[in-house]
Amino acid sequence: MPFVTHLECADCGTEYPAGEVHGLCTRCQRPLWVRYDLDLVKKEFPKKALFGRPPTLWRYLELLPMDDPASIVSLTETITPILPAKRLGAEFGLEDLLIKDESRLPTGSFKARGMAMAVTMANELGIKRLAVPTAGNAGGALAAYAARAGMECFVFMPDDTPVINQKECLLHGAKVFAVNGLIDDCGRLVREGAKAMGWFDVSTLKEPYRIEGKKTMGLELAEQFEWELPDWILYPTGGGTGLIGMWKAFSEMEALGWLKSGKRPKMVACQSDGCAPIVKAFESGARHAKRVGNAATIASGLRVPQAVGDFMILDAVRESGGVAMSAPEEDIPRWMQLANSKEGIAVCPETAVCLGVLDQLMKQGKVRSKDRVLVFNTGAAQKYPECVTAEVPRIDLSEPVDWGEMG
């Protein structure tokens, strides 16, 4: 691996050699960072080298972990647009609200970034059978990339996971199992079956490379903003890989001298009050989050009762001067409807939670009207029909149409 030097435990600092299969740290069972020789990257990869490269996440090849580009497993992970949301921003009294729309990626969510990288590294390391616990979109993404790579894929999901997510996995040829429990119960089954089934566990942060795929969100938005970062980033936080990955990207870009001001955004970890372990840990000053019992939210990607990378999320939020905050569960359909109708952007329920949090931050005076605020739309609204509460009125052709009733 030309620029990767080693892997390193995010908690105890134990180092591991690159180019080998790794899961969690064998000493403390915490996630691993991929570390790069950033001095060498700085020498051989000036940011001007990006000019003319294809507009995909693979344009940042020198800051990605694969050794051989021939190992890449791709469905063409395009750069996602940053869309101004002036009408929606006006609802908050905000002049500069922006939405980065990850729903444009393969399989309709940001999960494509992490799974593209995880499957690429599995391909490079000779792994042929993968398994994952999922609340929905991660399973669909893994199933698609495993199919692309010709690998076996096993998906375990709570039995109340949206039907669309279940069928998406089945369509891609995965072996799918519904479990009468939560995502961490599914994760336990993946761990327990690993020896008997010989699969590799691709759970959030339990392998080192999904985070490297997610960090491309940070690299990408910095490039889109011409190396100036926004004042705030609001991010829907379940397992937290995206937030952690972006914070890692900002750190690496800072070391490379790519950021103009050196000022990083305030990171906001957004959760529903139906499942808010990170928020509770943040408010109590704890570094680790306690498991939430009876976790319940229609924003299925946020229904993570306990995250193995909890301390990594909390560290990033605190270092940034940001906050972890929850929004009322009952308000999710309203925010989702408002965003979609005001801007025509297919905002998912997880992103609707961010809007509920933004509303509170504005009312508390923490976010100012002139601040540049970026919200991540992590998935396509079309994958969540159960979140649309409005009913379509029916026209009976056997009766006269009352045009006045149409508004």
Residue 231's identity, in one-letter code, is: D
Q: What are the phi and psi torsion angles at 386 (to 5°)?
A: -65, -15
Q: What are the phi and psi torsion angles at 228 (to 5°)?
A: -115, 130
Average pLDDT over residues 92-117: 97
Instruction: Give 95's contacts (C-beta < 8 A, 6+ positions apart).
Output: 89, 369, 370
Sign of CA pseudo-dihedral 46, 255, 323, 314:
positive
Q: pLDDT value at position 135?
A: 86
Q: What is the pLDDT of residues 41-59, one digit of tens each?
A: 999 999 999 999 999 999 9
CATH 3.40.50.1100 fits 82-108+210-384, yes or no: yes
User: Does residue 296 surpass a pLDDT of 60?
Assistant: yes
User: Does residue 340 surpass a pLDDT of 80?
Assistant: yes
Q: pLDDT value at position 181?
A: 92
pLDDT band at 1 (very low <50, low <70, confident <90, very high): low
What count of residues does the chain have? Answer: 407
Average pLDDT over residues 313-333: 97
Query: Do residues 386 and 162 lie in contact, with contact meaning Cβ atoms separated by under 8 Å?
Result: yes
Q: What is the pLDDT of residues 75-90, one digit of tens each?
A: 999 999 999 999 999 9
pTM of the model: 0.94
User: Does residue 113 surpass a pLDDT of 80?
Assistant: yes
Among 177, 179, 246, smallest CA distance to 218 is for 246
In the chain, what are the domain boundaries?
A: 82-108+210-384
pLDDT band at 386 (very low <50, low <70, confident <90, very high): confident
Q: What percent of the chain has pLDDT over 70?
A: 100
Average pLDDT over residues 83-105: 97
User: Does residue 28 surpass a pLDDT of 80?
Assistant: yes
Sign of CA pseudo-dihedral 239, 60, 22, 113:
positive
